[in-house]
Amino acid sequence: MAPNHLSVREMREDEKPLVLEMLKAGVKDTENRVALHALTRPPALLLLAAASSGLRFILASFALALLLPVFLAVAAVKLGLRARWGSLPPPGGLGGPWVAVRGSGDVCGVLALAPGANVGD
């Protein structure tokens, strides 16, 4: 498709479900990579090891004490990311969602800007 057939405009309220679905499709499987990255950093590993050691005294199972903190941490990271990515900034201004629209009026893409503190950003 030639670029001259596309235009960019602010998202309309009735397009919000479509835009949310496009954003969710764009970050599919990113949750797993972010969770793996976060949980393999040394501070996270130290906290997981400490939680596991403490749970070994409460639970009678070494495997459960090892896996439970990891599963809970992964679930917390995923839920936090879904809450963050599952919402859109309000329309209006540079940070609001904008959509790319074909000549026929169909939304074919979405973008949002995060302006920096400096004027040139």
pLDDT tens-place string over residues 61-89 = 888 998 999 999 988 888 887 777 666 65
Q: pTM (2 decimals)?
A: 0.54
Domain range holding 81?
A: 15-111
Residue 86 has what pLDDT?
A: 62
Burial of 99 (0-12, 13-18, 19+ CB in 10 A): buried
Q: Which of 5-19, 23-37, 57-71, 79-93 has the highest mean pLDDT?
A: 57-71
Name which residue leads in pLDDT, 121 or 29. Answer: 29
Cβ atoms of 105 and 14 closer than 8 Å: no
Tokens in use for 1? Answer: 């498709």
Q: What is the DSSP letter of 14?
A: G
Position 118 in a domain = no
Position 43 in a domain = yes
Position 10 in a domain = no
Output the CA–CA distances (angstroms, integers) from residue 76 to 14, 29, 55, 69, in the order listed: 31, 16, 18, 10
- Does the structure show a pLDDT above 60 at 7? yes
With pLDDT > 70 as the criterion, what percentage of the chain qualifies?
Answer: 78
Position 121 in a domain = no
Position 103 in a domain = yes
* DSSP symbols for 49-77: HHHHHHHHHHSS-HHHHHHHHHHHHHHHH
Residue 40: closest CA among 81, 70, 7: 70
In the structure, what pLDDT confidence band is assigned to residue 117 with cuts at 50, 70 and 90?
A: low
Position 45 in a domain = yes
Position 3 in a domain = no
Average pLDDT, the chain: 79
Position 76 in a domain = yes
Query: What is the number of structural domains in the chain?
Result: 1
